[in-house]
Amino acid sequence: MLGIIARLLGASLMLLAVAASADVVRNLYSASVPVTDQSSQALAAASRDALGQVVIKVSGSEGALNDPSVQKAMAGARDHVQQYAFAEGEGGLVARFQFESGYVQRLVKQAGLPLWTANRPRVIAWLVAEQNGDRQFVSMDTTPDLARQLMAEFDQRGIPAQLPLYDLTDATAVSVDDVWNLDGGALQAASQRYGAEDVLFGRVVAMSTGEWLGDWSYLDGRNRLDRHASAPESASFSRQGVGLAAESMARRYAVVTSAGDDALVMLNVSGINEFSAYAELVAWLENLELVDHANVRRIAGDRVELALVSLAEADDLAKLIELNEHLVAQGGSVGALEYLWQN
């Protein structure tokens, strides 16, 4: 039976979508950089900036750019561009670069930096801005420039995010004053309709001097972080808030991989009653950047036992596995991670 399943699996993996409570960041290894022209000099300089952006996204840390091996790699970034294209952006000409994922992962690993996989929780972002004495929610309808800036900062850090709908349901649950007062309880409750535990919320005043002053708060479901922010322009203010969320998420989910041999992590999953569930499980596991192979050791009834060849140890890998909404952690057995598959 196992051989039949393995042959069917090979033909089916490419047809399966990843089903997880976390989103899969599709542009994790790409970045766009403004350029003045399409010359080789401009392209080389922009490729360095682009690789720096990608390293920050993959490691979760702006401090990664201070690593000597990363700085050396950035100097030769043009040689590692998989593909690039020029396009007209809102501010003028931009160059978009794509780097090979394996190269970036090796660079991050060799530098001893944490590796943050593309499976990341979605963040709900609530922001109220006061301009000319008027306070209002930041949304695509009321303040499109501010909303686009905020979402662009999330994209640059590789964080799936969305603004609230600000429909009748939201209006019933949250007021402008709730956000302005940084009422975490109200905002966390209102964000549950979006299936998100990660909530970023803030308040900001546009000063007559041109400065933007305010505060950001971030909730991950259990913990809260607060940060005062000031910036010479609105995009920098948004960058500080998104940075607060990115740093916190990276501390939870980014893993410093071993420089030695890969780890062998045993994983047992019960509740696999259909081939589609089996195939989806194995496909999802093998799509995790930290898993080289998901080898099936044994199938017994509705229980699948796997040996994962992993760049991370079991405790770190478990944090990522539990992002999958189908996998519910059970009481662990000796030497193995135990989960129940729920459709």
Nearest to 92 by CA among 149, 157, 37: 37
User: What own/partner pairs with CB < 8 Å and gap ≥ 24 does 178-183 have?
Assistant: 179/126, 179/127, 179/128, 179/137, 179/203, 180/128, 180/135, 182/215, 182/217, 182/226
pLDDT score at 5: 40
Say which amino acid occupies 273.
N
b/e per residue 238-252 (b: at least 16 CB within 10 A): bbbbbbbbbbbbbee
- Within 8 A by CB and 6+ apart from 125, the residues are 150, 154, 161, 162, 163, 199, 200, 201, 241
Q: What is the DSSP letter of 312?
A: S
How many Å apart are CA 111 and CA 257, to the nearest integer? 10
Point out which residues pair with 34 in neighbouring strands: 94
3-state secondary structure of 137: strand
pLDDT score at 258: 63
Nearest to 255 by CA among 291, 211, 210, 308: 291
pLDDT score at 279: 94
- Within 8 A by CB and 6+ apart from 17, the residues are none
pLDDT score at 213: 98
Say which amino acid occupies 205.
V
pLDDT score at 260: 59
pLDDT digit string (tens) for the chain, length 343 residues: 434 343 333 333 333 333 335 788 999 999 999 999 999 999 999 999 999 999 999 999 999 999 999 999 999 999 999 999 999 987 899 999 999 999 999 999 999 999 999 999 999 999 999 999 999 999 999 999 999 999 999 999 999 999 999 999 999 999 999 999 999 999 999 999 999 889 999 999 999 999 999 999 999 988 999 999 999 999 999 999 999 999 999 999 999 876 556 789 999 999 999 999 999 999 999 888 889 899 999 999 999 999 999 988 888 889 889 888 899 999 766 778 999 999 8
pLDDT score at 4: 36
pLDDT score at 238: 98
Structure tokens at 64: 């990664």
